Amino acid sequence: MRIGLVGKPNVGKSTFFSAATLAKVDIANYPFCTIEPNVGVAFIAARKPCPCKELREKLESDGRLEPVSPDDEREGSICNPRTGSCIGFRRLVPCFLVDVAGLVPGASEGRGRGNAFLSDLANCDALIQVVDASASTDIEGNPQDPAKTPEAAKASMSEEISFLSDELDAWICGILNDGWVRGVRRVQAEGEKGMISFLHDRFTGLGSSFQSINLAFDSFKKINQETSPPWDWTPSTLKSLAIEIRKSLFPIHIAANKADIAPKDIDYNFQTNGRVIPCMADMELALRRAESAGLIHYISGQQTFEVSNSENLSEAQIGALKHMQERLTQNNNTGVSTIIDTVLFEELDHIVVYPVQDENQWTDSEGKVLPDAFVVPNNIQAKNLAYKVHSDLGDGFIRGTDGRSRRTVGSEHELVDGDVLKIHAKN
Ligand SMILES: Nc1nc2c(ncn2[C@@H]2O[C@H](COP(=O)(O)OP(=O)(O)OP(=O)(O)O)[C@@H](O)[C@H]2O)c(=O)[nH]1
Ligand SMILES: [Mg+2]
């Protein structure tokens, strides 16, 4: 799973990236600070509590485990995650983020870093467009006076949103145009099937699947008024096909960043490409760093944090923390993990499942409890999950055992969020 961070320069993409991944990257108040893309892993909380909660309850009721002690650093969690972590049954699962260079109008024609920027997005499953809710930067990312009214801020955000989708559309349209003559020949020979396989071939480099191309082509057919055969299609018909392909390959949600210095009372619930979620990336970064340094206890996504040891803090630090708490109270949270969570679990409809080797103890061969948490498409079939764990496990798949009901399940059994599954396979 890979989410791309896109947008004009100087909006806070790298700040968002660094806050979410805690990777050190260059951040600066001038355009094109980032040139080569940064790739990192963000850890996001699974929506359901880790199954180690049920395991603990069972062990406690059997008298095999003492109740959680108040000084337990893991707040009751008893799993052993191989990646990520679990505290208080809040299981963190990995999601790749890509922070790319800023895009400027004309990128698809080679301005800025041109198509190279766009290729950085090729393998992303979804995009988060970071926009400047404060309008303190112009469309090319140069600092300017911030917007004074909510209307001005919204107009500026809308301009950013439409310029970015225009650039993506132009890029996709270019790829489409490039092979169109060949594509049309396939349509002449094979009809619609030829069109679908042409589009699929054309966009595999961008991560297309038959499913995504079919979806795009179906919605294109609904809006396309032109009845002529594809070899006679006008540029504007091709453009509308490109738009549907873009929507299908790159669903976009909007992080309205710098909400801390944006005009008050902006209604972020406006109609656009995707959902708009107000963000304060640099506050998230400051809080996450303070948490790492042991100064505060902060759980990303929450509206509040606790100061661990105020004696070690300077006056200035205490003042800054107080200021951040006020902002957090006003805005609910920093928005950073909220938007990743929305993209991962709602837009991309993914779930978290736990393959184990022992269906009774929920352990692997070394006795590690619930070591793996896989982020997979909702309703994934048991055999497909086996392939994600290891290709041998998929090839040799015999059956599965549901960790809760202990029932045997077949290769086509569909998994739901939080499932624990033992996979039986030939060696
Ligand atoms: N007030 C405020 N400033 C922010 C926020 N997020 C980032 N910034 C500032 O915005 C400026 C640009 O941040 P970057 O993260 O470098 O922006 P970018 O989008 O990666 O920029 P390029 O790499 O040049 O495209 C820096 O001065 C950040 O400190 C925020 O939530 N609020
Ligand atoms: Mg950057």
| 234 and 140 inside one domain | no
Q: Answer with the one of 184, 215, 248 that is the final residue of a domain.
A: 248
Q: How confident is the model at residue 123 (pLDDT cuts 50, 70, 90)?
A: confident
Q: What is the DSSP letter of 330?
A: H
Burial class (CB in 10 A: 0-12, 13-18, 19+), 65: middle
Rounded distance between C-alpha atoms, residue 402 and residue 56, angstroms: 18
Is 224 in the same domain as 281?
Answer: no
Residue 418 tokens, joined: 């939080």
Q: 129, 253 in Cβ contact below 8 A?
A: yes
Q: Is 102 in the pocket of ligand 1 (CB under 6 A)?
A: yes
274 and 297 in a common domain:
yes
Residue with CA at minimum distance from ligand 1 atom 11: 29
Shared domain for 276 and 322, answered yes or no, is yes
Q: What is the mean pLDDT of residues 144-162?
A: 96
What are the residues whose beta carbons fall under 8 Å from the beta carbon of 314, sequence distance 6 or more? none
CATH code where residue 397 lies: 3.10.20.30
Q: Give 49-65 pLDDT, tens digit per residue.
A: 999 999 999 999 999 99
- The answer on pLDDT for 108 being more than 90 is no
Whether residue 220 sits in one domain with residue 112: no
Model's pTM, two decimal places? Answer: 0.93
Testing ligand 1's pocket by substitution, the residue of 5, 17, 27, 98 carrying the most ligand atoms inside 8 A of its CB is 27
Q: Is the CB of 263 under 6 A from ligand 1?
A: no
Structure confidence by residue, pLDDT tens digits, 155-170? 999 999 999 999 899 9
* pLDDT, greater one: 271 or 426: 426
pLDDT given at position 113: 66
The reply to whether 65 falls in a domain is no
Between 271 and 18, the more confident residue is 18
Domain of residue 292, residue span = 2-54+90-146+253-342
> Which whole number is the average pLDDT over 106-110?
77
Alpha helices in 276-314 (DSSP H): 281-292
Total domains present in the chain: 3
Selection from 193, 230, 232 nearest residue 210 by Cα: 193
Report strand pairing: 374-377 vs 38-45: unpaired
CA geometry: angle 122, 283, 8, nearest 5 deg = 35
- Does residue 82 form part of some domain? no
The whole-angstrom separation of Cα 263 and Cα 133 is 8
Residue where a domain terminates, one of 342, 374, 407: 342
**390 in a structural domain:** yes
For residues 358 and 413, membership in a common domain is answered with yes
Mean pLDDT, rounded, for 261-270: 92
**Joined tokens for residue 299:** 């759980």
31 and 97, same structural domain? yes
- Whichever domain contains 213, its CATH number is 1.10.8.470
What region does 379 belong to: left with phi over 0, alpha with psi -120 to 50, or beta?
left
Residue percentage of the chain with pLDDT more than 70:
99
User: Considering the chain, what is the average pLDDT of its residues?
Assistant: 92
Over residues 244-249, mean pLDDT: 94
Helix (H/G/I), strand (E/B), else coil: 67: coil
Higher local confidence (pLDDT), 33 or 91: 91
CA distance 351 to 62: 30
Q: Which of 334, 378, 398, 345 minimizes the C-alpha distance to 15? A: 334
| Beta carbon of 34 within 6 Å of any ligand 1 atom | yes
**Residue 114: which pLDDT band, with cuts at 50, 70 and 90?**
low
**For the CA of 281, the nearest atom of ligand 1:** 31
Are 331 and 279 found together in one domain?
Answer: yes
Question: What is each CA distance from 207 to 32, 167, 201, 246, 364, in whole angstroms?
Answer: 26, 18, 10, 11, 33
pLDDT tier, 24 (very low <50, low <70, confident <90, very high otherwise): confident
Q: Which of 248, 267, 286 is the last residue of a domain?
A: 248
Domain assignment of residue 37, yes or no? yes
Residue nearest to atom 10 of ligand 1 (CA): 12
Query: Ligand 1, from 16, 33, 111: best to mutate by most atoms within 8 Å of Cβ?
Result: 33
**Secondary structure letter of residue 47 according to DSSP:** S
DSSP E strand boundaries for 334-406: 350-356, 374-377, 397-402
Nearest 10 degrees: Cα torsion 271, 275, 280, 282 = -120
